[in-house]
Chain A
Amino acid sequence: MNKLNNMKKSTKVDFATYLGVIIAFIVITVLMNNGTLGRKQVGLLVPACCYVVMAVSLNLTVGILGELSLGHAGFMSVGAFSGVIAAMSLAEAIPFEPLRLAIAMVAGAVCAGIAGVIVGVPVLRLRGDYLAIVTLAFGEIIKDLINCLIVGHDSEGLHIIFNFKGLKTVDDLGLLPGGNVIIKGAQGATGTDTIASFTAGVVLILITLFVVLNLIHSRTGRAVMAIRDNRIAAESVGINITKYKLIAFVTSATLAGAAGALYGLNYSSLQATKFNFNTSILVLVFVVLGGLGNIWGSIVAAIVLYVLPEALRSVADLRMLVYAIVLILVMLATNSPKMKAVLSRVIPRKKGDEVNE
């Protein structure tokens, strides 16, 4: 009986999460169509979707696998630029925008997934803070490498050069007449067709939820959580630690790549520095404040924490200061034993939260 209730509880939460996303989509679409939302608010929708996917996917690494990653933006970056390259070079071949966007997102996901394997194999051997600092290092390396990238496309196909010494320019691509430059080194991608749409964003969120939630409730997810809870015990029951760590990490990177592609195709110009360490931290804050391992928490935190500071642009200078203070206070309120004691007296304990022994 107890068991049945519990099964219902976890599926109920998952179901509510899907439903919430769909309802939010319908409400926002209605508001958009009757003109309640201004251009400024509408402009926030696609990036908000991207950050939701980023937060949910990072939660897979940090909350479910239990490894701190400080380089998640690096995978977003790989996805963004490979997505932009794919979309721009297919511009003539596939004029139908939603299809091109979908292909670009798949390309971004695949490239970020490959990057995830390359980074994950060495990194996941390390533990704790060492792993964190190395993911940070990889994130910065990815950013620097993309900064060196010059890419163009013409009738002969893609032209790519790495500008390691900073001496090469777009002229070195040797593009045929009619070709166009997609990425100009440190200037980033310019002149991108902005084909990203809110609908695509919501679809991506739903796909992400489908992958992450189903993964968690499967044999693979259990193995991943077993590694998080007790690595030595997981090994003792025959779980291949490296394999499952890598599955979780690469899935997380892949989803971040898809989000990156959508993000990249939402702006006509984009630089690699956008995806620096601070972006990784921003997403990590979403995950921690939303609750580790709590998927709908990540969604809510990402939306609130992304939209709120943007909405407060009028008080520009103060907003980040306020954000910092709120962040510190929330962390103190939720983690300090004294504050917890005070809070538990104010807010009566939820029923059924505690398991009677």
Chain B
Amino acid sequence: MEFLSYLISGISLGSVYAIIALGYTMVYGIAKMLNFAHGDVIMIGGYISFCAMSYLNFPGWLALILAMVVCTALGVVIEGLAYRPLREATSLAVLITAIGVSYFLQNSALLIWGATPKVFSPIVEGTQNIGGLSVSNISLLTMAACIVIMVVLTLFTSKTKMGKAMRACSEDKGAAQLMGINVNRTISTTFAIGSALAAVAGVLMCSAYPTLMPTTGSMPGIKAFTAAVFGGIGSIPGAFLGGILLGIIEALAKAYLSTQLSNSIVFAVLIIVLLVRPAGLLGKYVPEKV
């Protein structure tokens, strides 16, 4: 019974990671960049919904939508201003720029909202009793949201015109452009989707772990990226699987092994997986052609 409740909290945490990782993996798949600012978009999403709820007295769902709208706009602006001019630059240059953006977002948040943690009121309250286990509504909502998002994204990338354009761009931007695909618009859209997902993750995460600081997003950002790599970066089912597994490993490690070392255990599992499968669980390893 105890094990089951740990498992459920792991799945719930993993669902948050999975939602962030889905955004990460889409952006990586198409722009081939480690977007270190992604975690900070989560934090901005958290603050926006916090403000909407506590200052404007918005209901939870409306605050969530507002956060999504703001973060989507933010993602598109960041991409257009900071990343687009560097499309031809080395990946290291883009990485450093992303780090700059991350510092910028964190410090802007610090100036606007201060360093003292805000206490976030969950968008959904209460618990359900399922077979003798008490599960919080926010956990259920997180898990449901994660599954819905994953299904919608899978359908989107396989069925819609824009989704196909995204896959084409991630394979070969030059060829995609020759086929008449607007690469810039496609990448913008990817960032928009990724950032909207980050906002959702931010609100859900802050509802489950209700402290909000300017640095709130960085660790979940890194872990979600780990999850994406774990599952095979660029792969949507991979990000989902990686996120859920990571959450479960973290929750169980915390419960049974060591609270202090739970992050280390997560990272150690990542290292072992990558050594056995260099492209992650569901990723394809493409050897360099000679």
- Most B CB contacts (10 A, CB to CB) among A288, A323, A335, A338 go to A335
Is B93 close to A, CB under 8 A?
yes
Main secondary structure of the interface of B (DSSP, over half): helix
Contact with A along B20-60 (1 / 0, CB 8 A): 00000000100000100000000000000000000000000
User: Contact at A328–B111, with CB atoms within 8 Å?
Assistant: no
Residues of chain A from 310 to 357 with CB closer than 8 A to chain B in the complex = 317-318, 320-321, 323-325, 327-328, 331-332, 334-339
Query: Can you list 30 A-B pairs, Cβ within 8 angstroms, ordered by A?
Result: A62-B92, A68-B92, A127-B278, A130-B274, A130-B279, A133-B270, A134-B270, A136-B222, A137-B268, A140-B267, A141-B267, A144-B260, A144-B264, A145-B261, A148-B258, A148-B261, A163-B260, A231-B288, A232-B288, A277-B222, A284-B96, A320-B110, A324-B100, A327-B97, A331-B100, A332-B97, A335-B86, A335-B90, A335-B93, A336-B89
Residues of chain A from 78 to 137 with CB closer than 8 A to chain B in the complex = 122-123, 125-130, 132-134, 136-137
Which A residues fall within an 8 A CB radius of B?
A: 62, 68, 122-123, 125-130, 132-134, 136-138, 140-141, 144-145, 147-148, 163-166, 186, 231-232, 277, 281, 284-285, 288-289, 292, 317-318, 320-321, 323-325, 327-328, 331-332, 334-339
Q: Which residue of A lies closest to B261 (CB)?
A: A144
Give the distance to chain A from B195, nearest Cβ to Cβ, in Å.
18
Give the distance to chain B from A168, nearest Cβ to Cβ, in Å.
11
| Separation of A331 and B92 alpha carbons in the complex (Å) | 10
User: Contact at A328–B264, with CB atoms within 8 Å?
Assistant: no
Chain B residues lying within 8 Å of A324, measured Cβ to Cβ, are 100-101, 103-104, 107
| Separation of A126 and B275 alpha carbons in the complex (Å) | 8
Give the distance to chain B from A11, nearest Cβ to Cβ, in Å.
28
With beta carbons under 8 angstroms apart, the residue of B104, B229, B264 that contacts A133 is: B229
Chain B residues lying within 8 Å of A140, measured Cβ to Cβ, are 263-264, 267
Is B1 close to A, CB under 8 A?
no
Chain A residues lying within 8 Å of B260, measured Cβ to Cβ, are 144, 147-148, 163-166, 186
Given A141-B264, A164-B261, A339 and B229 touching (CB < 8 A)? no
Chain A residues lying within 8 Å of B279, measured Cβ to Cβ, are 130
| Separation of A132 and B28 alpha carbons in the complex (Å) | 14
| Separation of A100 and B82 alpha carbons in the complex (Å) | 48
User: Contact at B270–A335, with CB atoms within 8 Å?
Assistant: no
| Separation of A337 and B93 alpha carbons in the complex (Å) | 13
User: Contact at B275–A336, with CB atoms within 8 Å?
Assistant: no
User: Contact at B82–A328, with CB atoms within 8 Å?
Assistant: yes
User: Contact at A288–B93, with CB atoms within 8 Å?
Assistant: yes
With beta carbons under 8 angstroms apart, the residue of B93, B106, B268, B270 that contacts A331 is: B93
Give the distance to chain B from A234, nearest Cβ to Cβ, in Å.
13
User: Contact at A232–B222, with CB atoms within 8 Å?
Assistant: no
| Separation of A287 and B88 alpha carbons in the complex (Å) | 20
Q: Which residue of A lies closest to B288 (CB)?
A: A232
Chain B residues lying within 8 Å of A123, measured Cβ to Cβ, are 271
A-B complex: 3 closest residue pairs judged by Cβ atoms: A137-B267, A324-B103, A336-B85
Chain B residues lying within 8 Å of A166, measured Cβ to Cβ, are 258-260
User: Contact at A133–B225, with CB atoms within 8 Å?
Assistant: yes
User: Contact at A320–B264, with CB atoms within 8 Å?
Assistant: no
| Separation of A270 and B259 alpha carbons in the complex (Å) | 22
